[in-house]
Amino acid sequence: MVERKQTYIIAALVENRPGVLYKIANMFRRRGFNIDSISVGPTEKEDLSRMTITVKGDEMLVEQVIKQLNKLIDTVKVSILDPTKTVVRELALVKVHTSDSKARSDIIHYVNIFRGRIIDVAPESIIIEITGTPDKIDAFTDLMKTFGVKELARTGITALGRGLKAVKIEEGS
């Protein structure tokens, strides 16, 4: 029986210092694991950063990733987030060609439907900011392809578990 690949969301608390992202990315490279997306930023604790990493694979692959991440000295804590109990968001900036006033009007209409924001307007293009789930971002960018996507930048997902459960180190440790 072939196990189906699925997307896993890994939350990692790591030391907030130079070179940590490189070490983690290098570990993935050495092991032949592919990172679908990665976002990194500071946490409520000044000395820690939070990484949200998405990988596609089976349970065995994600278990290996977790084991390898836990071996790195800069890693404080690693958890797999349950997608049904997690708030997931991604940000995208999309530069779209506006060939005429009708296209511009249609794009503005779609931006409003998707609850995006127009953040820059030029004579022949518009830059749109949109946040949401990866599926929402995909749906919006697919729609914009009919107008001509000039540039696209996506952050990759960031995620937090719902409710009181948190990926954090225990006080006093």
Q: What digits encode the pLDDT tens for the residues 89-106?
A: 999 999 999 989 999 999
How confident is residue 173, by pLDDT bands cut at 50, 70 and 90? very low
- Asked whether the predicted pLDDT for residue 169 surpasses 90, the reply is no
Q: pTM of this prediction?
A: 0.82
How confident is residue 3, by pLDDT bands cut at 50, 70 and 90? low
pLDDT of residue 58: 87
How far apart are alpha carbons 158 and 143 in whole angstroms?
A: 23
Q: What digits encode the pLDDT tens for the residues 124-159?
A: 999 999 999 999 999 999 999 999 999 999 999 999
How many H-runs (helices) and E-runs (strands) does the chain carry? 4, 9
Domains and CATH numbers, the chain: 6-81 (3.30.70.260), 87-158 (3.30.70.1150)
Torsional sign, CA 12, 18, 22, 27: negative
